């Protein structure tokens, strides 16, 4: 677990209670929890919604590393800041599915 917490940059918060964490920190803890068992598939629903630019970069770089290591990573988001991290982008607009 310490490695996963370190990956999302929350080493200094390991002894904090949930009520002591910001929304973004809670979101980063959720990402760390998902990484603990080293899954072969990671499904993310708005993983960066409450994150500032620095935390977003940290989380997305770790997800990118997972994908580069052969794991399948799927992210569902409305956040266009995540697009540079994607190998493939599929969008749905007015009920029409398209790949970019």
The CATH number covering residue 40 comes to 3.40.50.300
- pLDDT, one tens digit per residue, over 41-93 is 999 999 888 888 988 998 898 889 889 989 899 999 999 999 999 999 999 99
Q: How many domains does the chain have?
A: 1
Residue 4, SS3 per DSSP: helix
- pLDDT, one tens digit per residue, over 13-48 is 888 999 999 888 888 888 888 888 888 899 999 988
Q: Which domain holds residue 17?
A: 2-99
Strands 90-93 and 72-76: what pairing? unpaired
Contact 31, 5 (CB under 8 A): no
């Amino acid at each position: 677990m310490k490695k996963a917490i370190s990956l999302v940059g929350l080493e200094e918060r390991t002894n904090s209670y949930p009520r002591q964490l910001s929304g973004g920190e809670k979101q980063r803890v959720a990402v760390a929890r998902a990484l603990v068992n080293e899954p072969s598939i990671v499904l993310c629903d708005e993983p960066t919604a409450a994150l500032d630019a620095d935390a977003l970069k940290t989380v997305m770089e770790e997800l990118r590393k997972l994908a580069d290591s052969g794991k399948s990573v799927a992210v569902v988001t409305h956040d266009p800041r995540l697009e540079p991290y994607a190998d493939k982008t599929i969008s749905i607009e007015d009920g029409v599915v398209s790949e970019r």
